[in-house]
């Protein structure tokens, strides 16, 4: 049975962001009132993001002028709209680390879940007409124990059938299954009330692995609802059969598996151990983070993308994605 550390629900009345303290990693500082009407645009167009765009434009023009072989070889650049979505769901993934997230990116908090270390939230964006499920990454000793359970087991999660030979990291599977039925029930309620809304599942690090398993679980429960999966610094989660299953059921064009430069977590579970990524990888291959410095890779394990760099495990690149320091911005929750 779920342990409800966060008794906050949609339309919670007195639990307004300006009336309660925002807690960040044990700090009990009360934040001043924030004008929510301007918040989403501020998040998407922060001064740092704008500066990155200017720098990237200058570098792109310079590289064009000298015909840089490096950029030509990487066929760099994605559209601004794809890049903006990567930034947006990075922020949702970062917000999941907060102890309280009353207004994820200024939107409606539907539910915040926590069961034996598996944490996250379900939010609803009425402007974009989407329901977002965000899983928190590693933060506690319990998460570390989850991460090191690298033995694979047959994929067995609520609602998912006909998995063939698909097997997954036993720690990741057990962590998702702790909250699976609660997440499915809340999303079922939301899709019934908002039948035209899309589903987005996201997470960083461990949260990305949980999001991958959660996405196929939610797709099985809602086969007619459009669904997208965004992960950031996600470790390999299962074998080749699992990777193929995710691609088949979610669709490679609906998967955005982002990797920041030399982040070692996505490659730390080696292919020699029977693990394999699914597509589609989006590699932010150099700084600063911007559309021109992000490549859409080919296939699940593109040798010209992040798999070309030997893994160094958890490193500095793992701690930030698309200009967002993961876990450290409480303003994502107001």
Return the residue matching tokens 């966060």: 6
For the question of residue 263 being annotated catalytic, the response is yes
Instruction: In whole angstroms, give the CA distance from residue 217 to residue 41.
Output: 32
Angle at 210 between CA 204 and CA 214, to 5 degrees: 125
Catalytic pick from 85, 114, 318, 320? 318
The verdict on whether 318 is a catalytic residue reads yes
Among 263, 292, 302, 307, the one annotated catalytic: 263
CA pair distance 189, 59, nearest whole angstrom: 48
Q: What is the chain's Cα-based Rg?
A: 19
Alpha carbons 235 and 227: distance in angstroms, whole number: 21
Q: Which of 93, 205, 306, 320 is catalytic?
A: 205
| Alpha carbons within 13 A on the beta-carbon side of 198 | 12
What are the φ/ψ torsions at residue 255 (nearest 5 degrees)?
-115, 130
Q: Which residue has the tokens 């929750």?
A: 333
CB within 8 A of 239, min separation 6: which ones? 152, 165, 166, 167, 168, 274, 275, 276
What residues are annotated to the active site? 205, 263, 318
């Amino acid at each position: 049975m779920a342990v409800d550390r966060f008794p906050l629900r949609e339309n919670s009345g007195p639990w307004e962001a300006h009336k309660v303290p925002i807690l960040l990693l044990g700090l009990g500082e009360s934040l001043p009132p924030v004008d929510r009407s301007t918040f989403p645009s501020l998040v998407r167009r922060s001064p740092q993001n704008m500066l990155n765009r200017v720098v990237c434009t200058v570098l792109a023009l310079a590289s064009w002028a000298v015909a840089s072989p490096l950029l030509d070889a990487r066929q760099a650049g994605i559209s601004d709209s794809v890049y903006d979505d990567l930034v947006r769901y990075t922020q949702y993934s970062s917000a999941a680390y907060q102890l309280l997230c009353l207004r994820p990116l200024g939107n409606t908090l539907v539910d915040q879940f926590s069961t034996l270390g598996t944490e996250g939230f379900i939010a609803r964006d009425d402007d974009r007409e989407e329901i977002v499920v965000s899983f928190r990454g590693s933060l506690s000793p319990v998460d570390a124990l989850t991460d090191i359970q690298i033995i694979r087991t047959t994929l067995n999660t609520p609602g998912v059938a006909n998995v063939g030979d698909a097997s997954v990291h036993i720690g990741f599977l057990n962590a998702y299954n702790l909250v699976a039925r609660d997440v499915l029930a809340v999303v079922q309620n939301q899709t019934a009330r908002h039948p035209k809304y899309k589903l987005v599942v996201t997470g960083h690090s461990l949260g990305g692995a949980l999001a991958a398993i959660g996405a196929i679980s939610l797709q099985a429960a809602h086969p007619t609802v459009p669904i997208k999966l965004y992960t950031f610094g996600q470790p390999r989660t299962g074998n080749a059969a699992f990777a193929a299953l995710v691609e088949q059921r979610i669709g490679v064009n609906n998967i955005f598996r982002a990797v920041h430069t030399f982040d070692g977590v996505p490659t730390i579970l080696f292919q020699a151990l029977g693990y394999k990524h699914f597509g589609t990888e989006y590699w932010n291959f150099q700084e600063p983070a911007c559309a021109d410095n992000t490549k859409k890779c080919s296939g699940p394990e593109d040798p010209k993308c992040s798999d070309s760099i030997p893994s160094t495990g958890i490193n500095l690149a793992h701690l930030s994605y698309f200009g967002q320091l993961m876990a450290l911005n409480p303003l994502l929750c107001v």
